[in-house]
Structure formats: C-alpha cells, structure tokens
A and B are shown apart, each in its own frame.
Chain A
Amino acid sequence: MGDTIFALASARGKAGVAVFRISGPLAHQAVGRLCSVPEARRAVVRRLVWQGDVLDEALVLVFDAGASFTGEASAELQVHGSLAVVTAVARTLGEMPGLRMAEAGEFTRRALENGRLDLAQVEGLADLIEAETEAQRRQAMRVLSGAIGRRAQVWRQRLIRAGALIEATIDFADEDVPVDVTPEVLALIDGLTADLQREIAGTTAAERVRDGFEVAILGAPNIGKSTLLNALAGREAAITSEFAGTTRDVIEVRMDLAGLAVTILDTAGLRDTDDRVEQMGVARAMERAQAAELRVFLLTYPDEVLMLTPQSGDIVVLGKADLNPNTPGAISGLTGQGVESLVSRIAERLGTMAASAGAMTRERHRLAMLRAFEALESARSQIEKPGGAAELVAADLRQAMRALDMLVGRLDVENLLDEIFSSFCIGK
C-alpha cells in the first residue's frame, strides 16, 4: 500500500467548518496522535491536542479499510473553518512522519485504484462536486451509482451473442449449422442501434443538464426584454454569475431555474437597420438565439412578425403588460405580471428536454457510442448486402464492442486518466 495522504477537503477560506481528510495505512494512527480514536463510522467531538497545545475542538470520524471512499483506512476531521485553525491542523498533519499532503485528485485516484469506482463513476463524482442544481446532482448521482457500467454490460452481452452467432456460421461451416442466424443477428443489431441512438440523443440533453440550458429572449427593441431578465433574475431565480457578452449585444445571466442550470440570453432588439454596427449586433443575436435550446418571443402586438420565426416548442407572449394590463397572457417585467407563469412554462419546456437525458453525460461517452453505432450500421449493411461477407460483419461487431468497452474505461484510457485526475481540485 502507498503512503498516507491528507488534504483539506472543503473549500479554502473562512467558513463555519473545514474538513480534513486523511487516507492510508497511518490514517487512524494520525488521529490517535491528536485525540483518542473513536469507533469506526461514529462521529464524536474530540479536542485535538498536539505537543501540549489544543489545536481545536473537532468532529472526528474514522473509516476502516475496505469501508471508506478510497478503500483505505481513512479519517475526517471537521474543524472550525478559520484560517488559523486550518493552517495549524495542516501543519501538524504535515509534521507527522509518513504523512504527506495529497496531490490533486489523489483521493479519487485511490478510490479508482482500489476498485471503489470505475472510470465513468469517477466522472460522475467530478460532476457531483461541480453540481449547482438539483438536476445536475441527480444526473451525477446516476453516473456515480454505476449506471453507465451496467448499461455497457448489457450491450456487451448482446454484442457477444450476435458475434457468436456470426462466428458459428464461419467456424462451423463444415458442420451442421444450417439455421439461418441472420434474423436474430439483425434483431440484436436493431435493438442495440435503437438503444444507442436514444442514448446518443440523450447525451445532448445530459450535457445541457450539466453545462446549462440556454434560453434566448427575443423581441423588438424596447419591448422590455432587459426588464424581464431582471425580473427573472431578481424574483424567481438565483443569479449565479453575470457578465456582459463580448459585444454589448448579448447579455448572459446564469441562474438556477426550477432545479435546472439555465443561462438566459438577453439579445439585441431585432429590427432592420442601416447602422452597420447594429446590423452586426442583430445578426449575432439571431445566431445565438438559434443555437439556444429555447426562445421566448416578446411581441409588441399579437400578429407582429419578427425577423426570426418561432420554432415548435418556443414560447410566444405579449410584452409590456403594464401598458395593457387587461390583455390576457401578457407579461411585464416591471409589474411582475405573468412572470411567474412564464417561468413555469420555461421550466416545463426545459424539464421535458432534461427528462430525455440518459446515463451518458459526456462527449467521450457520445463518441464511444457513436463509434459503436457506426460499426453496427456497417455490420447491418454488410448483412443486408447480397453476398455480404460474414468475416466483415464479425469485424464490425468486434469494433462495436471495443468502442463500448471504452465507456467504462479500457485501453485508450491512459491520457484520459491524466485528464480526469488533473481536473480535480486537491483533496476532493
């Protein structure tokens, strides 16, 4: 086994509590040098004493090897989150022989090495740590629980079956295998491609859940888009970040909207203009709006035709309800009329999209599945081709299998490991 590592697991800076994690063969001894070691998995309050000095009063928790996050003997010290306490505890642990500060991602790396997590689960953990919203948390938990590994396993089994059927027609050609295996192989391929297609489509949604949905507000100049944005930000959602777009033409506000991470885009007013600069702004607004997952059109009057036509699923409402308070369905950022119902409509739309998110959440997953999908399509066309070659079908099926194996991590994972581990903050 390796050496014993420790790190501050909570964020740096003043806080109510700060959590230290210790993992490795000396973890329990290290605790024992500061206080009496409690029973495993039982949180107790202890005074931490080092060379006669009381460092802090802390909540102390130890885990046995095989029953901890890293799989090693480990411990947690929850101390008061002052800079002085944190510094003192870190220095003390660092002075103990056999202990050293963890490198970035080292706890997770150990969890992986000790078989506590597979590759996809490590990714799930990374997402969980980054999660800001409820949907992100749930999605990350799904990955962390091993959903990808289970799915890949099922697909693998079906591929093995299809491969075995094809191989039988090749290797036992001189024996009695007269049954035509094609229907079963095609059925297996169809089932797999359908599953893959669904999951591939779902990765887009999953990525949106993870990275945030974009919602563009569109309308003529002065229809009240910015006011609406402020109303949304101030009343219904928590602003998580705010910065102006690279041009003044698109303002982005990121918020948590009904548990989903959403970036609202406030775009330049859509109108024909001779002003070159404004033309560019409008073009840019249209481009961003088109790429967004959802568009909210604020109309000045019911039949207004804007430069961009709504797509199916987009939301179209009348703006400036403050000026015509009796128009049903109109909204006003100023008075707040209709804002609540708009929020729930947006949430419902995005919620539907988010629901299609599958277990696969990353571009890496998408690429692996896409490769498998293409290999299967190639196998299918080979089977359906008159005189198609069984050995090529078999080669395609193998290719698909290798691609899927990459979901849970295989072969080409070397670089990936580096990437994953380096994306972790120290101690997490």
Chain B
Amino acid sequence: MFHVKHFDVVVIGGGHAGAEAAAASARMGARTALVSMRKDRIGVMSCNPAIGGLGKGHLVREVDALDGIMGLAADSAGIQFRLLNRRKGPAVQGPRTQADRKLYREAVQALLSRQSGLEIIEGEVVDLIEGPGGRVEGVELLDGTRLSAGAVVLTAGTFLNGIIHIGDQRKSGGREGDVASIRLGQRLGTLGLARGRLKTGTPPRLDGRTIEWDALETQPGDEEPVMLSFRNRQPLVRQVSCGITHTNERTHDIVRANLGRSAMYGGHIEGVGPRYCPSIEDKVVRFADKTGHQIFLEPEGLDDDTVYPNGISTSLPAEVQFDYVRSIKGLERVQILQPGYAIEYDFFDPSALRPTLESTLSGLFFAGQINGTTGYEEAAAQGLVAGANAAAAVLGRDPLLFSRTESYIGVMLDDLISRGVTEPYRMFTSRAEYRLHLRADNADQRLTPKGVASGLVGPERAQVYAEKMDRLSAGRAMLSSRTWGPQDLLAAGVAVSRDGARRNLLQVLAGADVTWDHICRLEPQAASIDADTRSQVWRDALYAQYLHRQDAEADTLLRNEHVLIPTDLEFPGLPGLSNELAAKLERRRPANLAEAERIEGMTPAALLLILAHCRKSVQSRAAAR
C-alpha cells in the first residue's frame, strides 16, 4: 500500500526557485525532499540561456553570499561573461553570463546531489495534505505516495494550469516539452487564495548551422571576465561570442500584417505580460517609428547548435515566425528548431504573503514565478528565502528576514508584499532606493554574516569570507589611520582644492583620477594591499559621501518602521483617503508607516493622514489608561 515518508521540509518543483529552496533548507539542517516532475529536467532554463544582468546579477550575488547555488552553477556553465554598465559606477554594474543550458542543468543537479540532507524524488504532486486547523502537513504524489512534512515550499513556476499559445493554437503545458500541473492547480484553486493569470513569451529557437555568421557583427565577452560567484576567479569552460543582427522594415511589415493572428493580439490570452520583455508584436506596435530592433544571437551551448535570438519573443503562428525570421539579415536561410510561444499560467497574489514567504495557509511557503515574478534570479532569491524560512520554522529557529536597506532580496520581498503585482515583476536597480549601498560587489559584506549566524552559510564559505574581511579591514585601517593636508596631496600629484581640509587616504581615493600609485606615494605600505582588496576599498570609498546621506534616509525609514499602525485602524472609514487607496491599505494592512509609504499610489498627504491617526490612537490609548 501507499507508504508515508517523513521530512522536515518538502519542496515542490525543481526550477530555479525549487533548487535554491531545497538547497537552502538542507543547508539549514532540515531533512529536505525536492519533488519534481522529472529528475533530468531539474535546473532547466525555460527561456533565455543567460544568468545575471542589472538587478538580476545583484540578486545572484546575494544568493551566492548566502551560500546558494545559482552563482556557482552559472560560473560552471558560463560561456560568455559580461559586466553590464561597466562604464558606469560599481553600484549599477551587474554581472551576467551566457550559460550553456546543458552545463547549467548538470551543475545544478550535481550541486543538489552533493548536498547532504537532501533527497530528490521524481513525481508529480497532485494534492496537499492538510492537518488540523488547515495547516499544510505534506503532499501527495500522482502515484499515491504521501510525503509528510513540517513545512511545504511550492515553486511550480509556469506549470500551474499552464497553457501554451502559438498563434491561434493552444495546448496545455508547463513549458515546451513539459506537461502542465493541472490537478495541483485545481487543488490550489480550492484553498481560497487570491489567484490570477499572467503570461510570458519566448522566441523561436534557431539552427545555428543555418545562420550566416560571417555577415554579422559579433560581441565577445569581457576581456577581464567578472564571475557570478564570489568563490570563482575565472571562467571554467571555453568562451564564445554572440552575434548581433537587427529587425528591419520588412520584418515589421510581416509582423504588422499578421498581428491579428498573434495569440496576444488576437485576444486569445487573458493574462497580463511584462512590459519589460516586449514581444516583437509589442515592439512593432508600441515603437511604430523605429525601423529596426537589435537582436542578440546567443548560442545555447558549446556542443549545441541551437541559437536563442534574444529580442524577438512572439506568439505568432509558426509560419509567420518563419517568414519574419527569414527577413532578418544573416537569417535568410535559417531553420527554426522550435517555434516561439507564449505561456499563460496561474499566480497567487503575493501581497498576502508574510516576509518569510509563508502563505496564509500555515506551513505552506510560496516562491518563484507563482508569486508573480519573472526571471530565474528572482525565482532563485525567493527560493532561498522560502527554503531557509521553512526550515527555520520547522527547526524552531528565528525567521530570516531581509530589509530594503540591506539587500535586493529585501527590496523584492517588500515590493511583492506591500505592492502586489499587476504585471510580471522583474528586478531593476532603480527599485532599490539604497542602490549605492546595495552593490553586487559587496553582497557578501551585506549578507554573509547574517547567513553564518542563521546557519545558512556553511563553514567553508564562512572561512573564505572571514579571510577576505581581515584583508579588507586591515587595508581600510591602513588607509584611514593618517590624514594629509592639501599641500602634501598636491605634492604627491593628487588634484585637490586648497581648502585646508585634511583627508585620509580613503577620502583621497574617492577623488577623480586618483590611482593606486598616488596612494603608494603617500603611504608606501599600501603597495602590499592585494588587487581585490584595493578595488573593494575603492568602491566603498567612491560613494562614501552619498552613502552618508542615504544613511540619514535609512534612519527616517527605520523611524517610520517604528510608527506602528494600530491593527484596528479602519482605513475605509478614514475620511480624506480615496476609496482606491483605502481599499489597498485595507488589503495590505501595513504594520507600520514605512510599509504604508511604499504602497503604490500612496501620497504624502495620505501618509500624513495615517500618521495623524496613529498618533491619535496612541494618545487616546494613553488617556484611557
């Protein structure tokens, strides 16, 4: 008969959220099971073969700082590394790599199989086991196997009631080549959770052997590649270039003539798609005056001829895709291996989640695409949060919480919870108001200590980090121990104003055109500081002045976090609040003023109103005593 196996934490789904959740839970010391439909498809990249980017690279670094797997896997699969915004300041530089699909998948699978305390189970989850009081206490698989657990993490991605659209054809599916998760989707529909539909799309895959590479520009990787993980120094496999081509008027004409046949434009899809990753249909309609759009031709692997044309995702019928692709320079004779498609799937309103990603059903945590986000990195970061917190809950430890002032993870969680989503949520650096502090280069300084304290970071990484910090503090101490007046600095060739102010070398370093030679002229011992430490010290120094200002802002934020909003404050009754805002506030129930401030559509005047009421109820309570 059906046997029951017991775990501390069961993770449903082996995508980027699931893999990270399972690994994090196991690192915390919880006995963990990862259940996924197919073992060999764990770690599959559903869409583009790349990891990182602006905002996204920051998330990968944060996951890595907490000893996660995404950065390591990306580095082992990386075939073209580029640091985006290299010419801008370090705060807005995002590491990114083109990843060999197969290598990436294999790396994820290898890292998971090496993780102690983690068991991987192949199967489709079809039901949740509810205990007394509606607590989720396990899952049931299609074959009847029951897994009991202290907590369950759901990371079903685009699979819940997934429908694939190509032109006017539609079929059920979790992504191309995978079946959708229907029974679990239906079951979740009975739990009273607020649910919606979102959509996203992917371009056709091309046969690289039929592309005229010689006719195209190419883009190589960076000369000095920057890795995704703090633990790696250089690429681990052969590096390749991408091709660059453009759409043209003819491409646009073909698309325009067939708009009515697009799944998205023909009205076949009710879900909302992301504005940031527009399909070619969107681009042609919304930017009608542009005569060409850039396309990156990205190889999907070293021993794979498949090419991913980044920039032309679509849900047009296959024959139209064929026509418009062939209108593009270099692709005149190209063969399509797999047509592009759009997928529509269920997501759950993330504003109902707790900061630990536990849902309103206790014991059930949500992470990844099902929370309304899009992207591997967003999914991985949430997976880590949900997995670590599910484990913490079961093991009776303190929850692991993230704040906006400290991490992109905190920004994302807070955005999702306090604002909800109206379109697929993707990370951008501009979402982080403390962007100058939340850099990819200092993610370890921001988060690794917290990870060590909570048990999420293993001894090996903790050791590496401690050594790095020793070098860094020694370097900083050396550079800040003495000050120099303008005379001395000018004599050493440093351009400063003769303002009489004395500066230490960290301040000197922040100046324009200051090199390490200048520093060594003033402090010969500085020559002993290693290159990594130098650049880290420089990056920190660069923003010191602005960071100071941001600290003041962060203080205000903290202060506002201490202004608690009474739980019995009835927003809809508050005169002076628009009905819309009142309804939003009622739904989100911000716990404090800082949370209220971030609710979409919040105005200074409305905030003042809420503040006034908080104060009033504090006063009346004090008076009643």
Q: Which residues of A contact B (CB under 8 A)?
A: 2, 66, 71, 109, 112-116, 118-119, 149, 167, 170-176, 387, 389-392, 394-395, 398-399, 402, 405, 408-414, 417
Contacts and interface: CB of A to CB of B under 8 A. Distances in A.
Interface stretch (B266-274, B408-416, B609-617): B609-617
A417 B546 contact: no
Q: How large is the interface on B (under 10, 10 to 19, 20 to 34, 35 or more residues)?
A: 35 or more
B553 A413 contact: no
Interface in B538-568: 546, 549-550, 553, 556, 560
B605 A173 contact: no
Q: Can you list the 6 inter-chain pairs with the closest CB atoms, starting with the nearest?
A: A115-B576, A410-B604, A167-B430, A114-B575, A171-B428, A409-B608
A409 B429 CA distance: 28
A402 B604 CA distance: 10
A394 B620 contact: no
Contacts, number: 106
A14 to B, nearest CB: 34
B89 A392 contact: yes
B294 A115 contact: no
Given A394-B430, A413-B611, A174 B54 contact: yes
A395 B433 CA distance: 8
B92 A112 contact: no
A115 B577 contact: yes
B299 interface: no
B575 A417 contact: no
Q: Which of A66, A119, A414 has the most CB of B within 10 A?
A: A414
B161 to A, nearest CB: 31
Interface in B138-173: none
24 contacts: A66-B575, A71-B575, A71-B576, A114-B574, A114-B576, A115-B574, A116-B575, A116-B576, A119-B608, A167-B430, A173-B54, A173-B84, A173-B85, A391-B92, A391-B435, A395-B435, A405-B604, A408-B604, A408-B605, A408-B608, A410-B607, A411-B560, A413-B608, A417-B612
A4 to B, nearest CB: 14
Given A113-B612, A114-B575, A171 B430 contact: yes
Interface in B279-310: 290, 293-294
A394 B550 CA distance: 13
Contacts of A171: 54-55, 92, 428-430
B238 interface: no
Given A114-B576, A170-B85, A171-B54, 14 more contacts: A109-B612, A113-B612, A114-B575, A116-B576, A118-B605, A167-B428, A167-B430, A171-B55, A171-B430, A173-B85, A387-B512, A409-B608, A410-B604, A411-B597
Nearest to B53: A174
B91 interface: yes
A115 B89 contact: no
Nearest to A174: B84
A412 B576 contact: no
A71 B612 CA distance: 15
A113 B613 contact: yes
A113 B92 contact: no
Q: Which of B54, B88, B597 has the most CB of A within 10 A?
A: B88
A169 B604 CA distance: 28
Nearest to B91: A391
Interface in B78-96: 84-85, 88-89, 91-92, 96
Contacts of B54: 170-174
B620 A2 contact: yes
Given A170-B88, A173-B85, A115 B430 contact: no
B10 interface: no
Nearest to A3: B620
Contacts of B599: none
A398 B556 CA distance: 15
A409 B88 contact: no
A149 B294 CA distance: 43
A213 B451 CA distance: 63
B553 A402 contact: yes
Contacts of B53: 174
Contacts of A405: 604
A112 B556 contact: no
A7 B549 CA distance: 45
A113 B294 contact: no
Contacts of B597: 411
Contacts of B84: 173-174
B575 A173 contact: no
A113 B293 contact: no
B436 interface: yes
A409 B603 CA distance: 10
B465 to A, nearest CB: 26
A71 to B, nearest CB: 5
A100 to B, nearest CB: 11
A409 to B, nearest CB: 4
A69 to B, nearest CB: 13
A412 B555 CA distance: 11
Q: Which of A114, A408, A410 has the most CB of B within 10 A?
A: A410
Contacts of B574: 114-115
